[in-house]
């Protein structure tokens, strides 16, 4: 009896040093996604060593981190960002790698476009020089982030040297309440197991609350597996998975489709498969989540208050909490719903897909952002998401409500382009990291779901989406 992770692992072992399952194995990589920030040094070393990419058609490249989200007809004005994007273009052109260039309609955040194109398929190993590669695990594949030396290793050999992780099952049973989203499940899990809780594990999310999620929701959840410390998160294949993939440009068709789909249906943990650790959550008890500190585990519920470090017994933890509150400019015991905000960011590989934009638009519809909101940004995950949203009229809903509607990219998730917080500014963000300075030096990030972010923009402070009369 095998777990999904066992099946995926076993399918890809090219070579293993010894019979000991914990020894180093050479793992075959089916899909290699590449972006501009973590690849230039890998391409350079590859060239210096006189090597060539092993299998070009396994690679899909896109620039996302540095691209402007405003008018792109003028190119990128920051010369350093421009050089990085140009370097990717050059490397891809020179080697013959498929790349969606900045003005291609298909351009977008690497973790949005892989699935959108059908370049991410069940049963694959998917890697990218980016920790949120865990996102792709939503499709029943083994997907994880790698460093630049590993990017080079995969380019040169189509393989990676790695040790098998331990396995964890996180099962979420029951029905989510109205207004509670996949993002809230993710944050609730991190609140439960901590940001290091998944270290050394590959996590499988299961249970009927997970099966009830759309692919977008599953991607949000797997995206945040890395914030729980796990390199990989995954969800078993079911009809939802297969329906999503059907007809996408890189997906198989015709007779191959039938063969593929039949195989994909075997990609689930067998009944009775044993996990190294199991965690259970009751979906009905999950409330909208808001982070209050500088780590995703510093999270609480909308109806709660900022925790008091004085009540923490562990010295290191207390000290970290105090430091986080100082950075965030928050007082212990302040009700979360009384925290007012300056900016709102709806986007990132966590929450920039069509369903996320729909959820936010539903809250914003017919309303207007509060007077104290200096900027509310909506940044679709890809050109295709943007187009779809425009066809549905979501852009008009957002614009009428005072939001800015932007071009796709990472944007204020990590503020490598011009979109950023100023020191001291407080942001309700649908991204995945609230680290110090993540959205701009001195910026203060609160992680929330898309509906919660939109609701905060309208109210000017955090509010419980469950209590809105939309």
What's the min distance (Å) between Cβ of 431 and ligand SF4?
A: 6
Q: Is the dihedral of CA 407, 405, 341, 195 positive or negative?
A: negative
| CA dist., res. 214 & res. 429, Å (int) | 21
396 Cβ contact partners less than 8 Å away, ≥ 6 residues apart: none
Q: Does 295 bind another protein (CB under 8 A)?
A: yes
Q: Considering only residues 119-148, where is the footprint of ligand SF4 by CB under 6 A?
A: 130, 132
Are the beta carbons of 333 and 360 closer than 8 angstroms? no
- Name the binder of 16 from another protein, ligand SF4, none, CB < 5-8 A by kind: none
- Residue 199 or 214: which CB sits closer to another protein? 199
What's the min distance (Å) between Cβ of 15 and another protein?
A: 5
In 3D space, the residue among 95, 117, 2 whose CA is nearest the CA of residue 43 turns out to be: 95
Q: Does 441 bind another protein (CB under 8 A)?
A: yes
Q: 109-137 burial, b for 16+ CB within 10 Å, e for fewer?
A: bbbbbbbbbbbbbbbbbbbbbbbbbbbbb
Q: Considering only residues 349-388, where is the footprint of ligand SF4 by CB under 6 A?
A: 349
Q: Does 241 bind ligand SF4 (CB under 6 A)?
A: no
Among the residue ranges 178-186, 332-340, 383-391, 406-414, the one whose residues contact ligand SF4 (CB under 6 A): 406-414
- Residue 14 or 400: which CB sits closer to another protein? 14
Among the residue ranges 21-29, 181-189, 356-364, 374-382, the one whose residues contact another protein (CB under 8 A): 21-29
Q: Does 309 bind another protein (CB under 8 A)?
A: no
Using the rule CB under 8 A, which residue among 35, 169, 183, 231 binds another protein?
231
Are the beta carbons of 385 and 105 closer than 8 angstroms? no
What's the min distance (Å) between Cβ of 463 and another protein?
A: 29
Strand order in the sheet with 142-145: 98-100, 59-62, 31-34, 125-128, 142-145
End-to-end CA distance of the chain: 47
Q: Considering only residues 314-353, where is the footprint of ligand SF4 by CB under 6 A?
A: 348-349
Using the rule CB under 8 A, which residue among 47, 175, 317, 368 binds another protein?
317
Among the residue ranges 108-116, 224-232, 389-397, 448-456, the one whose residues contact another protein (CB under 8 A): 224-232
x/- binding map, residues 30-69, to another protein, per CB under 8 A? x------xx-xx--xx---x-x--xx-x-------xx---
In 3D space, the residue among 31, 17, 3, 69 whose CA is nearest the CA of residue 418 turns out to be: 69
Are the beta carbons of 281 and 185 closer than 8 angstroms? yes
Q: Does 257 bind another protein (CB under 8 A)?
A: yes
Are the beta carbons of 289 and 299 closer than 8 angstroms? yes
Kindly report the number of other CB atoms within 10 A of residue 336's CB atom.
23
Q: Does 158 bind another protein (CB under 8 A)?
A: yes
Number of residues that bind another protein (CB under 8 A): 80
Measure Cα distances from 187 to 181, 216, 224, 434 in Å: 10, 16, 8, 12
Using the rule CB under 6 A, which residue among 27, 42, 59, 109 binds ligand SF4?
109
Are the beta carbons of 81 and 382 closer than 8 angstroms? no
Q: Does 87 bind another protein (CB under 8 A)?
A: yes
What's the min distance (Å) between Cβ of 131 and another protein?
A: 4
Strand order in the sheet with 159-162: 13-16, 25-28, 159-162
440 Cβ contact partners less than 8 Å away, ≥ 6 residues apart: 412, 415, 420, 421, 422, 423, 425
Using the rule CB under 8 A, which residue among 229, 233, 409, 450 binds another protein?
229
Count of residues making up the chain: 470
Among the residue ranges 97-105, 146-154, 212-220, 344-352, the one whose residues contact another protein (CB under 8 A): 146-154
Q: Considering only residues 402-431, where is the footprint of another protein by CB under 8 A?
A: 414-416
Q: By CB under 6 A, name the binding residues for ligand SF4.
A: 64-65, 109, 111, 130, 132, 348-349, 410, 413-414, 431-432
């Amino acid at each position: 009896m095998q777990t999904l992770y066992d099946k995926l692992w076993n399918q890809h072992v090219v070579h293993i040093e010894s019979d000991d399952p914990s020894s180093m194995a050479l793992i075959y990589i089916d899909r290699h996604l590449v972006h501009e920030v973590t690849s230039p040094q890998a391409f350079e070393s590859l060239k210096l060593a006189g090597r060539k990419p092993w299998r070009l058609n396994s690679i899909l490249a896109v620039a996302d981190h540095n691209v402007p989200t405003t008018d792109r007809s003028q190119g990128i004005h920051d010369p350093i960002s421009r050089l990085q994007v140009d370097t990717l273009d050059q490397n891809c052109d020179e080697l013959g790698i498929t790349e969606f260039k900045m003005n291609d309609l298909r351009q977008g955040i690497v973790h949005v476009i892989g699935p959108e194109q059908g370049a991410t398929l069940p049963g694959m190993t998917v890697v990218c020089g980016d920790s949120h590669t865990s996102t792709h695990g939503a499709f029943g594949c083994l997907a994880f982030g790698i460093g630049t030396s590993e990017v080079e290793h995969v380019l040169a050999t189509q393989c990676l040297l790695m040790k098998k992780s331990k396995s964890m099952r996180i099962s979420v049973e029951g029905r989510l309440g109205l207004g509670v989203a996949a993002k809230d499940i993710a944050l609730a899990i991190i609140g439960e197991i901590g940001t290091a809780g998944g270290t050394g594990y590959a996590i499988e999310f299961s249970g009927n609350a997970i099966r009830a999620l759309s692919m977008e929701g599953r991607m949000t959840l797997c995206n945040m597996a890395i914030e729980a410390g796990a390199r990989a998160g995954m969800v078993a294949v079911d009809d939802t998975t297969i329906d999503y993939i059907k007809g996408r440009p890189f997906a198989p068709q015709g007779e191959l489709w039938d063969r593929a789909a039949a195989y994909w249906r075997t990609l689930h943990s067998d009944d009775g498969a044993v996990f190294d650790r199991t965690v259970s959550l009751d979906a009905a008890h999950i409330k909208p989540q808001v982070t209050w500190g500088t780590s995703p585990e510093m999270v609480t519920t909308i109806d709660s208050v900022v925790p008091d470090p004085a009540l923490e017994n562990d010295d290191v933890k207390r000290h970290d909490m105090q430091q986080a509150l100082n950075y965030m400019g928050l007082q212990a015991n302040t009700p979360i719903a009384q925290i007012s905000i300056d900016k709102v960011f709806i986007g990132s590989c966590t929450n920039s897909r069509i369903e996320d934009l729909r959820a936010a638009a539903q809250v914003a519809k017919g309303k207007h952002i509060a007077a104290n909101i200096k900027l509310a940004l909506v940044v679709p995950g890809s050109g295709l998401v943007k187009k779809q949203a425009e066809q549905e009229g979501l852009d008009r809903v957002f614009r009428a409500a005072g939001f800015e509607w932007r071009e796709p990219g990472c944007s204020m998730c990590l503020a490598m382009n011009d979109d950023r917080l100023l020191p001291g500014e407080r942001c309700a963000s649908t991204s995945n990291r609230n680290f110090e300075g993540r959205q701009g030096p001195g910026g203060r990030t609160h992680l929330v779901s898309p509906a919660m972010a939109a609701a905060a923009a309208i109210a000017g402070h955090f509010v419980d989406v469950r209590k809105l009369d939309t």
